[in-house]
Amino acid sequence: MESGKIGELRQLIEACKSNPSLIHDPSLSFFKSYLLSLGARIPPHPKTEPVDVDVDDMVESDIDLDDSDLVEPDNDPPHKMGDPSAQVTPDMIDAAQLAKSRALDYISQNKLDQAVDQLTEAILLNPHSAIHYATRASVLLKLKKPNAAIRDADTALKINQDSAKGYKVRGMARAMLGLWEEAASDLHVASELDYDEDIGMALKKVEPNARKIQDHRRKYERLQKHKEEKRTELKRRQEADAQVQEALSALKDGMSLYFHLLYVIKIPKIFCSLVWPLSSILYLRL
């Protein structure tokens, strides 16, 4: 028998090693029928689950969050900020403290706009005081202006990174905007620096929402990982199928000639020497 035909048969055997279900390919039905006529046991056609990589199936679902206290983001022009490079005299510090005292009086009377004005004056007089910014942030929070409050809280924390009031106000402002994870982080820091009941109450609302988002993210990441694994598996199968089709294409004419030679020329020893490795790979018992 021609060595080229033997090589083609060997190529089929290698293909069967990577995909034993090859024997069920329609183009090899004649070979399968012949093996069955000899009493061979053919392995059943494997059942494979469909590989679903539909991106739409991986879209994040809605999360059941308590957003009853959310407010519309404020887009007002920023309030005046002090010059961080300004030289502040003792007299300016004293004047800033008086403005802050007047602001506290206005807050106690619920005159919040006037309180903001006085705190702005205090900030301009002494822009190095974190408490002035944090206090104005707290008033802006009462006015339902979370973005403005966050700006002031950020400035307070730049001046004093241990400002408990800065973290507290920023956490509450972020909660108003639905930034639950960021809010929880700020409130936890504020709690460690200087715990009070307001922080505790805020955390009771914020933490459940933050946990739901974190749990959802982990679930989504698992789905994304599963999707990537499916894509990899699909690519592997496609590559294996391509190899099989390439082998079948090479054997399309050669196998027909091979069996013709077996029947016409009668060479059972060569047939046995070639078919036995194939049968052992396919779990056939001749």
**pLDDT, tens only, 234-280:** 888 777 777 766 666 655 555 554 454 444 455 454 444 444 344 44
Q: Which of 38-42, 56-60, 202-206 has the lowest mean pLDDT?
A: 56-60
**Which residues, in sequence order, are CB contacts of 270 under 8 Å at separation 6+?**
1
pLDDT of residue 212 exceeding 70: yes
196 within 8 A of 53, measured Cβ to Cβ? no
214 within 8 A of 54, measured Cβ to Cβ? no
Which domains does the chain possess? 3-53+222-281 (no CATH), 77-161 (1.25.40.10)
Task: Tell me the pLDDT tens digit for each residue of 125-142.
Answer: 999 999 999 999 999 999
pLDDT of residue 198 exceeding 90: yes
- The pTM is what? 0.63
Q: What's the confidence (pLDDT) of residue 184?
A: 97
Q: How far apart are CA 227 and CA 232, in angstroms?
A: 9
pLDDT of residue 227 exceeding 80: yes
Classify residue 114 by its DSSP letter. H
Q: What's the confidence (pLDDT) of residue 59?
A: 43
Which amino acid is it at 92?
Answer: M
- Reduced to 3 states (helix: H, G, I; strand: E, B; else coil), residue 44 is coil
Side-chain half-sphere exposure of 170, counting CA atoms within 13 A: 25
Which amino acid is it at 176?
Answer: M
Q: How far apart are CA 5 and CA 254, in angstroms?
A: 6
First-to-final CA distance of the chain: 22
